Amino acid sequence: MSITSPLLGSPSSDWTDARLLYALEEVVEQELNRHLKVTKDWMPHEYVPWSDGRNFPGFFEDGEAWEKGQSKVTEIGRIALVVNLLTEDNLPSYHHEIASLFGRDGAWGTWVHRWTAEEGRHGIVMRDYLLASRAVDPDKLEEFRMAHMSEGFESDNRHSMLHSVAYVSFQELATRISHRNTGHQSGDPVCDRMLARIAADENLHMIFYRNLLKAAFEIAPDLTMQAVRDVVVNFRMPGHGMPGFERAAAQMAIGEVYNMRIHHDDVLQPVIRFLKIMEIDGLGPEGQRAQEELGLYMGGLDAEASKFDEKLAARKARMAARAGA
């Protein structure tokens, strides 16, 4: 991948968002064409167990109220599915944000709309699955959706195109991991298969952004290093503002859907290793400082994750002892 830009090698002060967008346009076009060649269209309705569906109360006299026992999904599966779907529900806000940052013209605009269209499938198939299979309380799900979307969404990285590219390079992988682990923990093979299909999309989205981040390191290494440092240190999943998120996140951590160890080992480290971020040299003072701070943070996170691992292992041992008593 080659980048031709009149600003290549320019000092950090020369790189505005507009200039970075222009400099990366060729890479975006290359990555878009690659993505369109490898991605596969799929039909959300083919992943939904429609034969399990029946009417809910309301307009239908034969409607059957939802009860927890109707669900094939495990308790942790229900919690994670709701979090994952509510996150997908905020797609209009995500689209608005990246369209504002990346623009609606040229290769950038084509990618923004294509990404949005692909992400739209995820919310469609998840909601249809949850309702047809009666996996969750439909009234609560709609109440949560209304509350979450009514709050709107503003990214921590909306101030900077480069920070946003860095963020989604990690966040798309985090979403993929969360979906796959939810499927594994769901207890329902149909759910697992559906979430595997969604996770495949998220992986391709991660590759697009990761390759774009690689190109950004080539043209503006100091600024890109600072953006990665900021994003990693302050990382939050996009669903952090939904009702009851903190409690749900804690339950998902214990249920090994997503926790500090997974975040460190399966999300942050793979991207950092692939891009060889800690091996980049020739940085200026600010870039070097950001690289050092990133390394220190990753070391601290690994130590915290080890403490969490110990607590989780102790909890499992206590539960096993109680079950055997």
Q: Is 84 in contact with 182 (CB distance < 8 Å)?
A: yes
d(CA 128, CA 149): 19
Q: For residue 60, what pLDDT is reported?
A: 86
Half-sphere exposure of 208 (CA within 13 A, CB side): 27
Taking the mean position of all CA atoms in its chain, how far away is CA 41? 20
- For 209, the token pair is 């952004």
Q: For residue 153, what pLDDT is reported?
A: 78
d(CA 306, CA 270): 18
Task: Split the chain (325 residues) into runs of 10 and give each run's mean pLDDT.
Answer: 48 77 94 96 96 90 90 94 93 90 92 96 97 94 91 82 94 96 96 97 97 96 97 90 87 94 97 97 96 97 94 88 76
Long-range contacts of 110-118 (CB under 8 A, 24+ apart): 110/32, 111/28, 111/31, 111/32, 111/35, 111/208, 114/32, 114/35, 114/36, 115/205, 116/91, 118/39, 118/201, 118/205
Neighbours of 115 (CB within 10 A): 24
Geometric angle at alpha carbon 259, from 254 and 260, rounded to 5°: 130
Q: Is 97 in contact with 158 (CB distance < 8 Å)?
A: yes
Q: For residue 156, what pLDDT is reported?
A: 84
Q: Residues 117, 123, 125, 127: is their CA dihedral positive or negative?
A: negative
- For 227, the token pair is 């953006």
d(CA 132, CA 32): 35
CA distances from 300 to 233, 257, 261, 264 (A): 11, 22, 12, 10
Q: Is 275 in contact with 165 (CB distance < 8 Å)?
A: no
Q: Closest by alpha carbon to 224, among 213, 212, 240? A: 213
d(CA 182, CA 199): 10
Q: Is 15 helix (H, G, I), strand (E, B) or coil?
A: coil
Q: For residue 11, what pLDDT is reported?
A: 56
Q: For residue 10, what pLDDT is reported?
A: 52
Geometric angle at alpha carbon 250, from 233 and 303, rounded to 5°: 45
DSSP state of 188: -
> For residue 222, with 0-12 CB atoms within 10 Å meaning exposed, 13-18 middle and 19 or more buried, which class applies?
buried
Q: Closest by alpha carbon to 80, among 7, 182, 204, 150? A: 182
Neighbours of 310 (CB within 10 A): 10
d(CA 305, CA 260): 5
Written as one letter, the residue type at 246 is E
